[in-house]
């Protein structure tokens, strides 16, 4: 989990660009425009970027859209919930049609001092805030780039009192609709998100998560067994938990062989 950046700490950044000269130029321009920014890692491809992000957890990631091994868009899908993303691109049409629409920061190659100054000003203003939700922009860019649809959801931003918490989807036991929110239940506690069960189900790995009720999705890894109630309807028993999950008639066919 990455907490919002503290105003008292120096902001940190990762630069991922496969062309060494452009990477050095971007680093130099950033040093001029934002001397306090600490470049904690550099990467020459998307896989390296993900590895470096896991180690350093920077506040900001500058990502070249087209990189070997793993594209910048694919990297952004993985990390955008945990840091502020700035795309680096040689293509004006992307900037105009996608970035500006979504108020997403971008740098055109080669990086010009004027553009860097504008990006730095915007980043300074929001580095302490929660990162933007890039899902819609990434979907549009992926379609233009001919990339496959987004991978299953891996991280969830959830409210925990006045704080924001990042939860790994694999750690979720189950999701349950609760008024205008969806409750996210993990082994460590509960949190709330403003995403509906229907929206969530479309984004989850449906081999790992099953909807068992109009308002409930369960992580199959958390299922101990499936019992039957007095009506012969399936009831999900969870590993190490006292509560059970009711399976509605609509989804009971999933458990017919059990």
Alpha-carbon span 190 to 175, nearest angstrom: 10
Residues in the chain: 258
Alpha-carbon span 211 to 189, nearest angstrom: 21
pLDDT, tens digit, 9 for 90 and up, residues 149-199:
556 778 887 766 666 778 889 999 999 998 888 999 999 888 888 888 887
Alpha-carbon span 38 to 11, nearest angstrom: 6
Alpha-carbon span 127 to 143, nearest angstrom: 28
> Which of 119 and 139 is assigned the larger pLDDT?
119
pLDDT, tens digit, 9 for 90 and up, residues 25-73:
999 999 999 999 999 999 999 989 999 999 999 999 999 988 887 888 8
Q: What is the mean pLDDT of residues 243-252?
A: 89
Share of the chain above pLDDT 70, in %: 85
Three-class secondary structure of residue 163 per DSSP: strand
Alpha-carbon span 95 to 93, nearest angstrom: 5
The pLDDT value given to residue 44 = 92
Q: At what angle do helices 72-79 and 135-145 cross, to 10 degrees?
A: 160
Alpha-carbon span 241 to 239, nearest angstrom: 6
How much is the mean pLDDT over the chain? 84
Most confident of 102-111, 125-134, 224-233, 239-248: 239-248
């Amino acid at each position: 989990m990455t907490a919002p950046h503290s105003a008292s700490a120096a902001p940190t950044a990762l630069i991922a660009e496969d062309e060494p000269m452009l990477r050095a130029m971007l680093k130099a321009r950033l040093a001029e425009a934002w001397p306090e920014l600490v470049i904690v890692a550099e990467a020459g491809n998307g896989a390296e970027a993900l590895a470096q992000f896991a180690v350093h957890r920077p506040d900001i990631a500058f990502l070249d859209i087209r990189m070997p091994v793993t594209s910048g868009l694919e990297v952004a899908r993985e990390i955008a919930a945990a840091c502020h993303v700035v795309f680096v691109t040689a293509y004006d049409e992307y900037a105009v049609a996608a970035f500006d629409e979504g108020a997403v920061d971008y740098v055109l190659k080669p990086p010009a001092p004027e553009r860097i100054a504008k990006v730095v000003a915007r980043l300074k203003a929001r580095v302490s805030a929660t990162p933007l939700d890039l899902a819609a922009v990434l979907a549009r860019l992926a379609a233009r780039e001919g990339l496959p649809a987004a991978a299953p959801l891996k991280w969830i931003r959830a409210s925990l009192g006045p704080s924001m918490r990042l939860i790994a989807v694999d750690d979720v036991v189950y999701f349950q609709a609760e008024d205008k929110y969806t409750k996210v239940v993990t082994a460590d506690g509960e949190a709330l998100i403003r995403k509906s069960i229907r929206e969530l189900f479309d984004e989850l790995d449906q081999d790992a998560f099953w909807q068992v009720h109009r308002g409930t999705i369960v992580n199959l890894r958390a299922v101990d067994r499936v019992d039957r109630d007095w009506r012969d309807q399936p009831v999900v028993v969870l590993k190490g938990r006292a509560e059970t999950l009711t399976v509605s008639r609509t989804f009971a066919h999933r458990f017919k062989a059990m």
